[in-house]
Every structure is written in C-alpha cells, then in structure tokens.
Structure 1
C-alpha cells in the first residue's frame, strides 16, 4: 500500500499517498463524472469544477452534498462535505508530481470524533483511486470488505 503518512489532530485527518501515475490521471479521477464511481460514488447532481455544487451518491441513496471552494486544475481541489446525518466539513486534495509518482495529500477538516472512521474510509477510497488511475479499477463490490480489513488493522495500531 503506498500510504506515505496518516495523521489525525483534533479536527483534521491528513493522508498522503503515492500513485505511480501522472497527476493528470489522478486529477481526472477527482473531477470527471464517469470516473468518480470507480473510487468514490456516482455523481448525481452538478459537476466538480470551480465554485460548483455537486452531489455524490455513495450507494443506496446515501448522498453527500458538496460545493467546490478551491479549484486549481491538476494541483488543488477543495470542497465542502455534508452528509445528512453529519456536520459540514471540508475536504481538500493537493497533488504534486515528481518523475513518475504523483503525491496525493488528502486533508479532511472538521471531523472531530469521526476522524478514525473517516481514516478507514478515506484509506479505502485512496486504494480505489490509485487502482483507477493505474487503469485497473477495483470492483466496487469489494469496497466494504477492504474497508473492514483496514479498520481492523488500524484498530490494532491504536
């Protein structure tokens, strides 16, 4: 697993991941409607572009409403993140590319007590994002099995 670092503070979860693919391939997965289902969920409203609201269905009608707050193509994407049963938070993606590796820094701010569960979820999503960027998408039916494994591993390390 190309997880470079995982940090949790009082309010921010930060994961840094290495992907052996061009930054453009990773950026496409973050913003292209037809590619979002390979790693995150189905875009059902709006678009992921500067200032735009969008809604992603994570399965079974469980939808997250977001609005893009920062958009620098190929480098930075930030948006609000709000599920109906959770407080509004902020997600940001920062990409940097060095030779054949793209470093992806995900920061999710405002999580409070939800940080540990989001660490497991985002780690799983990053695995799916990487596989998609490498052109070998993982079956979405495997998401919760992989998530459970990551949650068990992280629980042992705490």
Structure 2
C-alpha cells in the first residue's frame, strides 16, 4: 500500500488545522486546481463562479444542499491563496493554501485553517479533500460518493493525535 502524501495535525486548543500535501505536478497546475472551478469540483466542491480571482467572493457547494461563502483575502498567484470560510451554523474562519515548488514535478501544498469550531473534524475533512486533490492531479479522480469512506477513521486518528506520525509526505 502506498504511503499517503498527506500529513497533518489538529490543534484542538488553538482551534487550528495544519496540513501538507506533496502534490504531484508543478506549482502552476496545483494553483489551477485551487482556483479553477473545472478542477475544484473534483476535489473540493462546485463553485458558483468559473474561477477564484483576486478580491473575489464566491459560494462553494459541498453537495446539493450545503454551501459555504468565501472572500479572497490574500492573493499571490502560485504562492498563496487565503479565504474567509463561512460555513452554515459555524463561526467564521480562515483558510490559506501555500505553495512551494520542491521539484519540477512536485509542489508542496500547505493548508492552514484557523478558528475552526472542531479542529479534529476539519483535519479529517481536509485530509480527505487533499487525497481527492492528489488523485485529481494524477488524472485519476476519485468518485465523490466515496468522500466519507475512511473519514471516521481519520477523525479517530486526528483526535488521538496519532496521525502525524503515521503519514508523512512522500
């Protein structure tokens, strides 16, 4: 079995999630997957805009009934994207996506999500989203119906603070 390219930590006290993905592909391709609705639909959700843009506002549809609102608060193409994260019935939070080229064929993606109501749930959710992103970047989209498969196991691992030692970026 291949080791996951996703590693992360949930800090319950600080209400913060930190994740890393050794993303297959150059930075430009990963940036496109973060900002282009034709790509986000495969790993994060359906945007109500064609693409995320500097200073933009958009809705992200997680399924047919649930959407969240977002505003771009930092925009440094191919390096940093930061958004507000307004999910129904939760406090407003902020998520940032940082990119660094590690080789011509790999980019390190870091995700920091601050002020979350449940860091463990968010860590497990981001972990699954990044697994779907990794598959998308490899050209092998995962069926969206399988998103929740393994989620409960990830909640258990992040909740026990055991996950960061079990999976490291490859």
**Alignment check: 8 A CA contact 1:16 1:104 kept:** yes
Q: Offset at 1:24?
A: 1.4
The correspondence of residues 82-97 of structure 1 with structure 2, limited to 5 A, is 82-97=86-101
**Alignment check: 8 A CA contact 1:95 1:104 kept:** yes
**Alignment check: 8 A CA contact 1:46 1:53 kept:** no
1:2 paired with 2:5, answer yes
Q: Offset at 1:157?
A: 4.8
1:105 paired with 2:110, answer yes
1:16 to 11, 20, 24: 20
SS of the aligned residue for 2:48 comes to strand
Q: Offset at 1:134?
A: 1.5
The correspondence of residues 47-62 of structure 1 with structure 2, limited to 5 A, is 47-62=51-66
1:77 to 60, 78, 81: 81
SS of the aligned residue for 1:34 comes to helix
Q: Which sections of structure 1, spanning at least 5 residues, go unmatched?
A: none
**Alignment check: 8 A CA contact 2:36 2:50 kept:** no
After superposition, the CA RMSD in angstroms is: 1.8
Q: Deviations over 1:26-52 (max 9, x none)?
A: 111110011111001111257411100
Q: Which sections of structure 2, spanning at least 5 residues, go unmatched?
A: 163-170
1:137 to 138, 141, 166: 141
C-alpha distance in 2, partners of 1:92/1:109? 9
**Alignment check: 8 A CA contact 1:46 1:55 kept:** no
Q: Offset at 1:5?
A: 4.1
Q: TM-score, normalised by structure 1?
A: 0.90
C-alpha distance in 1, partners of 2:124/2:60? 19
- The answer to which structure, 1 or 2, has the higher relative contact order (CA under 8 A, 6+ apart) is 2
C-alpha distance in 2, partners of 1:66/1:49? 11
Q: Paired residues, what number? A: 157
